[in-house]
Structure 1
Amino acid sequence: MTEQEKSNENDCSEVEASEVQSRDENYSGSCDGCSLEKEQEDNENNDCSSNMEGEIHDVVREDEIGKENEEDDEFESRFDMFYDSNGASSEDDNFSSYGESPTENEDSPTLPPKKRYQNFSMSGPKGNLEVLQLEMSSIDLAVGQRYESKDDLERRLKLLTVRYRFDFDVETSTPTSYVVKCWVDGCLWRVRAFTQGESPTFYVRIYDSNHTCPCTERSNRSRQATPDILGELYKNFLGDVGPAVRLTSVGIAITKQCGVKMDYWKSHQTLKFAREIDEGTPMCGFESLPSYLYMIRRANPSTVTRLHIDELGRFMYVFLAFGASVNGFPFMRKVVAVNGTFLNGKYKGTLLTALAHDGNFQIFPIAFAVVDTENGFSWHWFFTQLKLLIPDDEGLAIISDWHNSIGKAIRNVYPLTARGICTYHLYKNILGRYKGKDVFCLVKKAARCFRMSDFTTIFEEIEVVTSALHGYLQRADVRLWTRVHFPGERYNLMTTNIVESMNRALSNARGLNIVRILESIRVMMTRWLAERREDARLQPTTLTRGVEKLLHGRVTACRDLMVQRIDDHHTEVKYGSSGKYLNVVNLEERKCTCRRFEREKLPCVHAIAAAEYNNVCRISLCSPYYNSAYLVSAYAESARPADSAQPVPEIVANQPCLPPYIRQQPGRPKKNRMKSALEVALQNKRPRKEHTWSRCKQSGHNTKTCPM
């Protein structure tokens, strides 16, 4: 290179550096700032100004020293140093479930420290496009920027190349220097960064931002447009990363703004990396799990947490029961529904849940656990921890599916407790093995009978129709799936549908890391407890709103019944004069020959008629679990968030918790479970044909009511 070419190159660098400085001064504060105090930055800048010339003398040409000395003198006046760390139906009585997806973390260290526009729409108004340009201008480089490591600088350069649609080659990459240039030969675009002293911090010393190569040529290569870089670009500047985001929307946004061709798999990987920036990686969730459990216990008294790891320090099981659930369960009916659902994150696993029904027919969460897999060991461990909250008792009932591991664990840990199985799972097995709509309806009636005589009649009819199904139901043990033979009290809970509803409420959280899963549960419980506490206080009636609605229909129906007293304690109630439907009610013992009063702990239609005839308060016939006062007491406490400002003891923070060993299967993980034969049949069920009258060709009436 001749002396004239060197002089022209130096002049060009000085002009470009001054242009960058002017642009940066007009846009100060738009990039990520360093975490140090301002006074510390001033001291570092002064030290940098006094020592810069001697440090970089060995790595730059002599004809560039004069220009760099001028930059050192102006180093203190430049803007702040930059740091870039970079899814079952049921016939149970009324209940409802609620749930939303987990909230996003709004304190991500990778975002600029100013307002973020995560809901940017590519088809939005012009104002959004202006905001987008303002946001993405913070990616640009400037002389004097500081990066804590070479990886941070390299990541910023990759974001810059993807944003402005070009590529670069690395000329020099050493522990103390990093020099890159445009990949097109002859182009003057280049960046030079060096360290200072023994510090690993890199400073941008030279930045020639203008390209002298054709635009069409420099945009022919995009090696830096990898999913991790595109994910960071999309998360910080282009769009949302919530569970409702579609992969096609991610690909369209990046293609329009960055000109990168996106296929379906690349869009999936990009969205995956973007969500990891916002939610954390699956591995970091296990590292922070001990600290999270400690902070949750400290924020919520009476909370029970258990963490079980193997001899190598790898995660196996975690158990969480909030103090609000522990202290609220005594006001619930003593029926617990348990089930497990798969997790679809990197490390898979299973989420085990234990739920109850409150007096207003709403889901009441008791305990949650994340285990490696659903087997006998994990269920035994789960019930062992649950027994600390709910002791074994003859008045307790546990409802689950047909899983053999659950039955074995209940027999070992809860020997006194009555175990029942979900009738919905029974129906699915019958539908898969035996055909016949009439037989299926008979099994359903037999499971829900209140009287032994009715069950015997229906069961004999099943034997006449198909002896194979009759034998299968006998082997299934009628004490598990029938209401009349059940040894304990299961009230109206015949299925585990409340657990399925809970799984549906947590469906968006099942792909997060383990800490975010538990935090999503905490957020959901905080919302539920607050809303239901306020709703319980506003209920004006003695009984809960759900019970009032249920009894309203029975009060209306009892007016057609004929009542006659037998003695001081017994009352005869019948429908019509024939006496075919006759029942005897004992209000003192709260029994009726229909057995509904005894099983549900709510007055049946016959008991209501007898109470009205004998001037007995019908509210006194209900179990206290259905009182509004019990509902207020059940939701008296709340689930509080962890206080991250409080220090965590070193013994807890340093507790090892490594991710479990897994074998990652190829392809994208499946998020939807395989549907059973019953669910497929219900989806493919044809709607009932609506008949029309032949004269007017219209529906909704018959011959007598036809307007023609």
Structure 2
Amino acid sequence: MDQVILVCGTWKAQQNQWFFIADKCRRSAIVGADLETSYNDFRGRVMEEIGVDRRIDEVQLSYMITKSVVNTPPLRVTNSLQFWSFLKLFRNHKARLCVEIVKKTPCHQGVRDRRQDLFVDSDSDEEDDEEMRFDCCDDPDGASSGDEEYGTTKGRFAKEEEEMFYLPAKEDSIPAFLQLERGSVELAVGQRYPTKKALVLRLKMLSVALKFDYSVGYSTPSLLTVCCWIEGCTWRARATTIGSAPEFYIKSYVQEHSCSVTERSSRSRQAKPELLGRLYSEFVGCVGPTVLPCHVADALNKRYGIKMDYWKAHCTLRFAREVISGSSESGYEDLPVYLYMIRRANLGTLIKLEVDAEDRFKFMFLAFAASIHGFPYMRKVVVVDATYLQGKYKGTLLTATTQDGNFNIFPIAFGVVYTENNESWEWFFRQLHLVIPDDEGLAMISDRHKSIKHAIKKVYPLASRGICTYHLHKNILLRFRTRDCFDLVKKTASAYTLLEFNQHFAQIEALDPELHNYLVEADVRLWTRVHFSGNRYNFTTSNIAESLNSVLSLFRGSPIVQLLDPARSLMTRWFVARRKNASLMKTTLTRGVEKLLESRVDNAKLWTVQEIDGDQSQVTCGGILHVVNLTERKCTCRRFDLDKLPCVHAIAAAEAVENVIAKVCKPPTVHQPPGRPKNSRMKSALEVTMEIFYVL
């Protein structure tokens, strides 16, 4: 086999002489050829060796005889006969083959006629065009490109490379890789992969899905050949780059195995959780928060016959989620951009991101503009809570919520901190202070965490602080292991009047003095309704914050961006639905309040009302007496005072109050008797007797 020297450049003619100017940006190369090598085969090897992008460029081969006449132009090589002539001449004369790289033009007939010297083949224009677009392979005769002769690996792979053949071109205009099933992991000639790493990943997934293993023949930055690990098997694949681009194209692929299925499936090096996770996410199923490891194991077993234990299925699901949602590291890397886009899309949104001296994450605060603008119309009660995250870097999610006029959850702000301590809670409340200023009418509800107490006292000194009665009840059950006084504690906490509170609290002291002392130490001003210093309304627990955390709990193990984005999506759905419902309301009060007052209005009809003065009324029913002051919106039952919604007694008093101005006065209905109207009335017998007496 002769070694042909290739030099890239262009020909130029000056004063009846031809000169070849070499391209300094491209290297020279040597390609082996003999009289059995076809022109198309050789040209394909040339393009691969010098790195020509076949999608936009093509090559022209030419040479100059050293002893030719001065004004003789270079000789073009356009077909196999001319190429073989060059080889014969090259044996007796030291000459080089010049390679000119030109841009492609559309292969219309007129253009092809003008450039006939650049194309010589017996196939039609349409077939050439299809092979260039889909197969990206200029080997129509089915020969291999011969790159293996210049590899560093020898052995059976070199022999197999010489025997490798390309799949025949299909007559159909649709290429093989477009005819594949969308969810298939199979290979096909013409498939493009953005990098070599992506191609290797697909080969690994294919080997796992089809239960076999492969060996690598050649592996260079521009070439990759693989074959079945069973010696003598016909399964193999070959992929190369085109030019200097990093994309790899499948140039040849033999799909059928000639080895036994029991032999080739006895080795499975690639079935690792990382690869199985990518295989599952791309070709099997979803990786949502409700998907469990047992679902992954079952799906892979049914689809590909892969069996795995629970731990391997767990790791597979974890890697599958990383493929879709990104890793925990990428979540923190994308956080600044995500927060910027949130603020850009929601003008007025407050975001804060704090890192340490080494640029490591510390705190994050997010309050959407819709929450900031909506809170002034809510009752001034804020419920704060924290929930631990389960991702790789842990952390804690902090939330601040309240209720709207329809008793719906109204999120105010979200925070993510690296840990829950005095510093993190104080930082969170300082950011919240920018949204909700300190006020005497403000109430803060939380659990008994000491860091929250410290932060509220420091940032919100004017606000009233209360604790969640649900957390208090849980602590009582865990500490005292008794349910005898549990109902009494609940009644004591929810009592509206001081008399009712004293009765229940005295019963607790009589039954369990230790529990009584514990409740006193917890400070009755924090956990009871009757002793609370501010306006607590119906907020006795932090359930609204717990409910929000429960909704977001499915994403606690996700990267931080994938945790915040579901919160944004959730608020968007909530606010859109509430805006539509509000636009359909026909009443002044919300539907939640209307439903609450509906039963109270029916019960108010059972009460008897006696007006005391212009402001106060006495309401009685079955020996129970209450006094209602409609002007000050108070009632001796104290429900009207604390909940700020009319109680049964207030509704009864309001319905009984006579409002003269609001009444409508029409003429009465008169019944006219038959006959002539009488001008004088009929006198009684006594009147007639008296008249006779006076006359006599």
2:627 to 566, 584, 587: 584
1:361 to 407, 411, 415: 407
Q: What is the CA deviation profile of residues 75-103 of structure 1, one whole-angstrom value per residue up to 9, with x for unaligned ones?
A: 9x997899xxxxxxxxxxxxxxxxxxxxx
Counterpart Cα distance in 2 of 1:139 and 1:43: 32
Partner of 1:596: 639
Compared CA separation, residues 37 and 540, structure 1 to 2 (3 A): farther
Counterpart Cα distance in 1 of 2:424 and 2:245: 49
Counterpart Cα distance in 2 of 1:557 and 1:224: 73
Partner of 2:453: 407
1:49–1:72 CA contact under 8 A, matched in 2: no
Q: What is the CA deviation profile of residues 295-341 of structure 1, one whole-angstrom value per residue up to 9, with x for unaligned ones?
A: 11111111111111111111111111110110011110000111011
Gaps of 5+ in 2: 1-36, 42-52, 59-102, 106-131, 661-696
Compared CA separation, residues 138 and 258, structure 1 to 2 (3 A): closer
* SS of residue matched to 1:572: strand
TM-score by length of 2: 0.70
Partner of 1:239: 285
Larger-Rg structure: 2
Q: What is the CA deviation profile of residues 181-228 of structure 1, one whole-angstrom value per residue up to 9, with x for unaligned ones?
A: 211122232233344555444344443333221122111111112222
1:286–1:315 CA contact under 8 A, matched in 2: yes
Compared CA separation, residues 496 and 165, structure 1 to 2 (3 A): same
1:279 to 320, 325, 349: 325
Which amino acid in structure 2 is aligned with residue 613 of structure 1? Answer: A
Counterpart Cα distance in 2 of 1:37 and 1:417: 73
Compared CA separation, residues 73 and 185, structure 1 to 2 (3 A): closer
1:176–1:195 CA contact under 8 A, matched in 2: yes
Gaps of 5+ in 1: 1-9, 15-35, 83-111, 113-130, 618-708
- Larger RCO (alpha carbons 8 Å, 6+ apart): 1
Partner of 2:84: none
2:626–2:637 CA contact under 8 A, matched in 1: yes
Matched, 1:498 2:541: no
Partner of 1:326: 372
Number of paired residues?
530
* SS of residue matched to 1:207: strand
Matched, 1:135 2:182: yes
Q: What is the CA deviation profile of residues 659-690 of structure 1, one whole-angstrom value per residue up to 9, with x for unaligned ones?
A: xxxxxxxxxxxxxxxxxxxxxxxxxxxxxxxx
Which amino acid in structure 2 is aligned with residue 395 of structure 1? Answer: G
2:137–2:251 CA contact under 8 A, matched in 1: no
Which amino acid in structure 1 is aligned with residue 276 of structure 2? Answer: L
1:248 to 279, 294, 299: 294
Q: How large is the Cα RMSD of the aligned pairs?
A: 3.5
Partner of 1:699: none
Compared CA separation, residues 550 and 256, structure 1 to 2 (3 A): closer
Which amino acid in structure 2 is aligned with residue 267 of structure 1? Answer: A
Q: What is the deviation of 1:402?
A: 0.8
Q: What is the deviation of 1:364?
A: 0.6
Counterpart Cα distance in 1 of 2:162 and 2:224: 21
1:55–1:197 CA contact under 8 A, matched in 2: no
Counterpart Cα distance in 1 of 2:295 and 2:317: 10
Matches within 5 A, 1:108-187: 134-137=181-184, 139-142=186-189, 144-187=190-233
Q: What is the deviation of 1:385?
A: 0.6
Partner of 1:58: 150
Counterpart Cα distance in 2 of 1:544 and 1:166: 65
Partner of 2:616: 570
Counterpart Cα distance in 1 of 2:621 and 2:54: 85
Q: What is the CA deviation profile of residues 46-81 of structure 1, one whole-angstrom value per residue up to 9, with x for unaligned ones?
A: 99879996977634999999999x979999x99789
Which amino acid in structure 1 is aligned with residue 654 of structure 2? Answer: A
Matched, 1:266 2:312: yes
Which amino acid in structure 2 is aligned with residue 301 of structure 1? Answer: L
2:398–2:416 CA contact under 8 A, matched in 1: yes
Counterpart Cα distance in 1 of 2:605 and 2:591: 22
Matches within 5 A, 1:365-514: 365-514=411-560
TM-score by length of 1: 0.69
Counterpart Cα distance in 1 of 2:331 and 2:56: 35
Counterpart Cα distance in 2 of 1:609 and 1:278: 61
Q: What is the deviation of 1:472?
A: 1.2
2:264 to 208, 214, 218: 218
Compared CA separation, residues 137 and 428, structure 1 to 2 (3 A): closer
Partner of 1:695: none
2:151–2:218 CA contact under 8 A, matched in 1: no
Q: What is the deviation of 1:294?
A: 0.7
Q: What is the CA deviation profile of residues 17-70 of structure 1, one whole-angstrom value per residue up to 9, with x for unaligned ones?
A: xxxxxxxxxxxxxxxxxxx998799969699879996977634999999999x9
Counterpart Cα distance in 1 of 2:604 and 2:361: 58
1:57–1:65 CA contact under 8 A, matched in 2: no
1:547 to 587, 593, 598: 593
* SS of residue matched to 2:609: strand
Counterpart Cα distance in 2 of 1:593 and 1:40: 93
2:579 to 524, 530, 533: 533
* SS of residue matched to 1:351: strand
Percent identity for Structure 1 against Structure 2: 52
Counterpart Cα distance in 2 of 1:209 and 1:423: 68
Q: What is the deviation of 1:500?
A: 1.2
Q: What is the CA deviation profile of residues 366-407 of structure 1, one whole-angstrom value per residue up to 9, with x for unaligned ones?
A: 111111121111111111110100000000001000111111
1:343–1:350 CA contact under 8 A, matched in 2: yes
* SS of residue matched to 1:134: coil
Counterpart Cα distance in 1 of 2:555 and 2:489: 36
1:48–1:72 CA contact under 8 A, matched in 2: no
Q: What is the deviation of 1:483?
A: 0.8
Compared CA separation, residues 434 and 160, structure 1 to 2 (3 A): closer
* SS of residue matched to 2:487: helix
Partner of 2:91: none
Compared CA separation, residues 297 and 38, structure 1 to 2 (3 A): farther
Partner of 2:4: none
Compared CA separation, residues 596 and 182, structure 1 to 2 (3 A): same
Compared CA separation, residues 457 and 155, structure 1 to 2 (3 A): same
1:299 to 312, 321, 345: 345
Q: What is the deviation of 1:532?
A: 0.6
Counterpart Cα distance in 2 of 1:507 and 1:199: 45
2:166–2:253 CA contact under 8 A, matched in 1: no
Counterpart Cα distance in 1 of 2:473 and 2:307: 49
Compared CA separation, residues 257 and 464, structure 1 to 2 (3 A): closer
